Amino acid sequence: MIDKTAGITEQTTTKDEEMPPAPPHAVEGEADDDDDDDDVAAPDIGGEKKKKKKKKSKKKKAAAVVQSDPPRVGLSKLFPNGVSPPLMSPLLFSNSFRTTSEEKRYIEREIENNPETTYSSIRRAAEVHRQVRAHARRTIRPGMSMTEICENIENGTRALVEEDGFEAGIGFPTGVNLNECAAHFSPNANDKTYLKEGDIMKVDFGVQVKGRIVDSAFTLSWNPDYENLITAVQEATNTGEAGIDVRLGELGGKIQEVMESYEVTIGTKTYPVKSIENLTGHTIGLYQIHGGKAGKSVPIVKTNDQTKMEEGEYFAIETFGSTGRGRVAESGECSHYAKLPDAPRLRKDDSLIKHVLGTLHNRRARSLNTINKHFGTLPFCRRYLDRVGETSYLYGLQRLIKDGIVHDYPPLKDQPGSMTAQFEHTILLRPTVKEVVSRGEDY
Ligand code: 57R
Ligand code: CO
């Protein structure tokens, strides 16, 4: 049995020798004692499947397919039988005091059938995230441009997820946030920023399969002075206190406690690590990075929010630490945008004098058509508009923002000169286990 209060860093099973190879993602909760003859989450490339399995299944073994470097092999080639462990895998199911086995399975199926949380799509998106970030973490170096870093991640994502319109693709713009910038920076076309040795960079990217977005982020630095800041944030994200019936305000307090138990010495100066009080984790909805049926925010400081996390909910748990004030403000040129889920439709005649404003009016309509065609409510950035051939769109975009159809998300920065770090995982609150879907060997 596994301690349910364990942090999300804990693996669930103590029966490694009887289990199939551990899937690359972690699940929290109690392990089942049932015998296992399920399929595994790892690619069938090593031919290490158990003998017992051969008797039962006449399925042909898939030919060995390995990932390329840089990663460009689609998941359907690596995992011809799908990424997800089957629904009844004891790795994901557990004996529980909450419900009987039959009830559990029923609830699990309900969640599986809920388009917002279909397990197989989530696991596919998560596997793409793990493989793309593994390469990013190996290859990102000072001297690279922000654009190069983003394009590597985005090309990897498009290839591995086998990009296909709204069916599968990028979940939101790649965030490459340096130093005091905590979130929402992605280079625009003219950007000339290069990564430097002394920078601390948060890489935040997302993958979507059938609208289920996996959102996960990590921090890189080449200056050992930042290590404590990075550890503080990683530990805070892994606090492991999230779960069904947990109150959001209390969870924020637990996260803050871990975060603020650290200090960091940079050069000769020592700083307390602060949780950034006005950044939060969030529920993830179908094609909506921040939302879902009941959009909830996960604070990273103690608040009196009594709202509870609920069964079946899907959360991005992200924490941000800072050597600065611990507060961010919007600053700098915007790159990130998203159509509002409840955006009003364009009204034909709401432009004052159409024959005067005609061209400008059309620019707004053209921008909206492009957004509807390529992104819907998924966040996008200016580079993604450039890429689909859109030109001179800024005026149209600006109008859509004024009309409350599109929301702009400028970079979020703490004080100049401060250093910030971020770690983020996507979790699924299943009836009996908390599945950290984006968990990998790296973080
Ligand atoms: O993770 C438009 C995006 N997200 C891309 C990602 O919380 C996100 O701001 C959103 O492109 C939009 C936050 N809280 C308050 C100020 C209320 C942030 C934390 C950073 C980030 C980028 C995020 C947030 N909310 N949703 C994902
Ligand atoms: Co994120």
| pLDDT tens per residue across span 265-304 | 999 999 999 999 999 999 999 999 998 778 999 999 999 9
What's residue 203's pLDDT? 98
What's residue 97's pLDDT? 37
What's residue 51's pLDDT? 44
Ligand having the closest approach to the CA of 336: 1
Q: Which atom of ligand 1 is nearest to the CA of 424?
A: 1
Question: What is the torsion angle, in degrees rounded to the nearest 10, for the CA atoms of residue 97, residue 99, residue 102 and residue 104?
Answer: -100
- In 196-340, at which residue ranges do the beta strands (DSSP E only) sit? 200-209, 212-221, 263-266, 269-272, 274-275, 280-283, 297-299, 314-322, 329-330, 336-339
Pick from 92-96, 239-243, 337-341, 423-427: least confident: 92-96
Encode pLDDT of 164-191 as tens digits.
Answer: 999 999 999 999 999 999 999 999 999 9
Q: Report the separation in Å between the CA atom of 229 and the middle of ligand 1, taken as the mean of its atom positions.
A: 21
Q: DSSP character for 298? A: E
**H-helix or E-strand containing 434?**
strand 433-436
CA distances to 151, 203, 366 from 173, rounded to whole Å, are 11, 11, 21
Could you tell me which CATH number the domain at 337-409 has? 1.10.10.10
Encode pLDDT of 102-129 as tens digits.
Answer: 777 777 777 777 766 688 899 999 999 9
Q: Which atom of ligand 1 is nearest to the CA of 290?
A: 26
Cα 406 from Cα 342, distance rounded (Å): 10
Mean pLDDT, range 385-403, rounded to an integer:
96
336 is in an annotated binding site: no
Higher per-residue confidence, 329 vs 81: 329
Q: Is the CB of 185 under 6 A from ligand 1?
A: no
Flag whether pLDDT at 227 surpasses 90. Answer: yes
Q: Give the distance between the most distant pair of CA atoms in the chain.
A: 76
Ligand having the closest approach to the CA of 205: 2
Q: Report the separation in Å between the CA atom of 79 and the middle of ligand 1, taken as the mean of its atom positions.
A: 32
Ligand having the closest approach to the CA of 289: 1
Q: Is the CB of 252 under 6 A from ligand 1?
A: no
What's residue 344's pLDDT? 83
103 is in an annotated binding site: no
| Percent share of the chain, pLDDT over 90 | 67
Q: Report the separation in Å between the CA atom of 289 and the middle of ligand 2, taken as the mean of its atom positions.
A: 9
Domain boundaries, given as residue ranges, for the chain: 75-333+411-436, 337-409
The mean of the pLDDT values for the chain is 83
Flag whether pLDDT at 19 surpasses 70. Answer: no
Mean pLDDT, range 236-263, rounded to an integer:
96
Flag whether pLDDT at 77 surpasses 50. Answer: yes
Residue nearest atom 26 of ligand 1, based on CA coordinates: 290
Mean pLDDT, range 80-101, rounded to an integer:
49
Flag whether pLDDT at 26 surpasses 90. Answer: no
Cα 25 from Cα 438, distance rounded (Å): 6
Residue nearest atom 14 of ligand 1, based on CA coordinates: 279
For the chain, the straight-line distance linking the first and the last C-alpha, in angstroms and rounded, comes to: 23
What's residue 372's pLDDT? 96
Q: Is the CB of 379 under 6 A from ligand 1?
A: yes
What's residue 5's pLDDT? 34
Q: Report the separation in Å between the CA atom of 412 and the middle of ligand 1, taken as the mean of its atom positions.
A: 9
**H-helix or E-strand containing 115?**
none
Which amino acid belongs to residue 257?
E
Mean pLDDT, range 422-436, rounded to an integer:
91
Cα 438 from Cα 212, distance rounded (Å): 13
Q: Is the CB of 284 under 6 A from ligand 1?
A: no
Cα 415 from Cα 406, distance rounded (Å): 28
| CATH of region 75-333+411-436, choose from 1.10.15.40, 3.20.19.10, 3.40.50.970, 3.90.230.10 | 3.90.230.10
Residue nearest atom 15 of ligand 1, based on CA coordinates: 279
Q: Report the separation in Å between the CA atom of 289 and the middle of ligand 1, taken as the mean of its atom positions.
A: 8
Count the Cβ atoms, other than its own, within 10 Å of residue 336. Answer: 22
Q: Which band of pLDDT confidence, cut at 50, 70 and 90, is reported for residue 96?
A: very low
Q: Report the separation in Å between the CA atom of 217 and the middle of ligand 2, taken as the mean of its atom positions.
A: 6
Sorted by sequence, the CB contacts under 8 Å of residue 178 that are 6+ apart come out as 185, 193, 195, 199, 200, 201
- 346: region left, alpha or beta (phi > 0 left; psi from -120 to 50 alpha): beta
Cα 117 from Cα 110, distance rounded (Å): 10
Encode pLDDT of 193-207 as tens digits.
Answer: 999 999 999 999 999
Q: Report the separation in Å between the CA atom of 424 and the middle of ligand 2, taken as the mean of its atom positions.
A: 6
CA distances to 214, 402, 414 from 275, rounded to whole Å, are 23, 32, 11
Query: 214 φ, ψ to 5°?
Result: -105, 125
215 is in an annotated binding site: yes
Q: Which atom of ligand 1 is nearest to the CA of 184?
A: 22
For residues 118 and 212, is the Cβ–Cβ distance under 8 A?
Answer: yes
What's residue 232's pLDDT? 98
Ligand having the closest approach to the CA of 281: 1
What's residue 229's pLDDT? 98
